[in-house]
Amino acid sequence: SVLSCGHCSFCRQGRENLCANLTMLGNNIDGGYAEYVVVPVAELVPVPDELPLEQACVIADALSTPYHAVKHRGKVRVGDTVAVVGCGGVGLNLVQCAVVSGAHVIALDLNDQRLATARVLGAAETINPGAVDRVDKAVRSLTNGGVDVAFEAIGNPKTIELAFGLLTRGREAEAVAVSL
């Protein structure tokens, strides 16, 4: 777990992920693998007894990171058109968070099975970049010129560049690379 200080300028802006004084259990503080660990109460989230620990652990990263990206970094609003580049675990949760936020979602991945899952989770459109000549043209044809917000969930410079190229004119700053 990574703990923010709550006092630096980034924390006061609600950008705890950029905290100037981050500490990490197991690195900066003893107890990463301890049975009991002392952490600030603000970092705790109650977990119902009926939720298995293995499932609860997924929420801490694979769901909270996409949620933060959609709501706070991408500021997705009802009616926005959103591209999600990469439909692994984090990308599929980006799809769900964007859909719940009221967006029209286009999911992109080289794996057709992941694209099928993205559809089940609410993606309105899917594109396999390996099956089209130009991904940007395929997205533009579906969106009347490009998407409002693009998320990249792979961490590859080429796919980050691709995400920027999917944006509609004037939205160049709206691409969000989700750290994995």
Handedness of CA 153, 154, 160, 165 (dihedral sign): negative
Both tokens of 75, joined, read: 């500021």
Q: If we measure between CA atoms, which residue out of 123, 130, 164, 161 comes closest to residue 146?
A: 164
Give the CB-side neighbour count of residue 137, counting CA atoms within 13 A: 4
pLDDT greater than 60 at residue 177: no
What local confidence, expressed as pLDDT, does residue 179 receive? Answer: 43
DSSP secondary structure string, 122-166? T-SEEE-GGGSS-HHHHHHHHHTS-BSEEEE-S--HHHHHHHHHT
- pLDDT tens for 112-158 read 999 999 999 999 999 999 999 999 999 999 998 999 999 999 989 99
Q: Are residues 117 and 88 in contact, defined by beta-carbon separation less than 8 angstroms? A: no
What local confidence, expressed as pLDDT, does residue 40 receive? Answer: 82
Chain CA centroid to CA 164, Å = 15
Give the CB-side neighbour count of residue 122, counting CA atoms within 13 A: 19
pLDDT greater than 50 at residue 171: yes
The structure's pTM equals 0.78
What local confidence, expressed as pLDDT, does residue 180 receive? Answer: 38
Q: If we measure between CA atoms, which residue out of 72, 143, 66, 144 comes closest to residue 105?
A: 143
pLDDT greater than 90 at residue 176: no
pLDDT greater than 80 at residue 31: no
- pLDDT tens for 91-105 read 999 999 999 999 999
Q: For residues 58 and 52, what is the distance between their CA atoms, to the nearest angstrom? A: 11
